[in-house]
């Protein structure tokens, strides 16, 4: 998968992920996140897919804003990388938060599932 169409599909997957996070749409998150996900949180700890889904299912994390400021994408074959900068707001374990964040996400593509998130890293900026 190469060219402008591949970039557009990756960008659409990234924005679909953002919308699912905002809505705590666990079904869409489950579809977009690969079982092998390893995510480095802003606290430096490693998390997996079930950790992320559990936060949304339980209501321990709710998003009230995901405002994209910049999104860059790279596709090389069946691997894609997205770099997101934006403002997030919501609650985490009962405490309100608001932060400007950078996410670097690595995606893999397969014909049956499309783009799926396999690795990520988040930093407060």
What is the tens place of the pLDDT at every residue in 17-70?
Answer: 999 999 999 999 999 999 999 999 999 999 999 999 999 999 999 999 999 999
> Encoding tokens for residue 63?
């998003």
Task: Say which residues have a Cβ less than 8 Å from residue 38's Cβ, sequence separation at least 6.
Answer: 46, 47, 48, 118, 119, 120
pLDDT digits (tens, 9 = 90+) for 80-105: 999 999 999 999 889 999 999 999 99
| Per-residue pLDDT at 4 | 84
The domains of the chain, with CATH numbers, are 3-124 (3.10.450.50)
Query: Per-residue confidence at 71, pLDDT binned at 50, 70, 90?
Result: very high
* Dist. CA 29–CA 1, nearest whole Å: 23
Euclidean distance between CA atoms 13 and 115, whole angstroms: 6
In terms of phi and psi (left: phi > 0; alpha: psi -120 to 50; beta: otherwise), the region of 67 is beta
Query: pTM (2 decimals)?
Result: 0.93
């Amino acid at each position: 998968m190469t060219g402008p169409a591949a970039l557009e599909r990756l960008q659409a997957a990234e924005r679909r992920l953002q919308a699912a996070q905002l809505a705590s749409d666990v079904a869409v998150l489950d579809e977009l996140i690969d079982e092998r996900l390893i995510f480095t949180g802003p606290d430096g700890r490693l998390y997996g897919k079930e950790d992320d889904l559990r936060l949304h299912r339980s209501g321990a994390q709710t998003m009230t804003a995901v405002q994209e400021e910049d999104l860059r994408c790279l596709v090389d074959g069946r691997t894609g990388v997205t770099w997101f900068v934006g403002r997030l707001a919501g609650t985490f374990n009962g405490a309100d938060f608001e932060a400007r964040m950078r996410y670097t996400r690595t995606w893999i593509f397969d014909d049956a599932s499309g783009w799926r998130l396999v690795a990520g890293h988040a930093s407060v900026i």
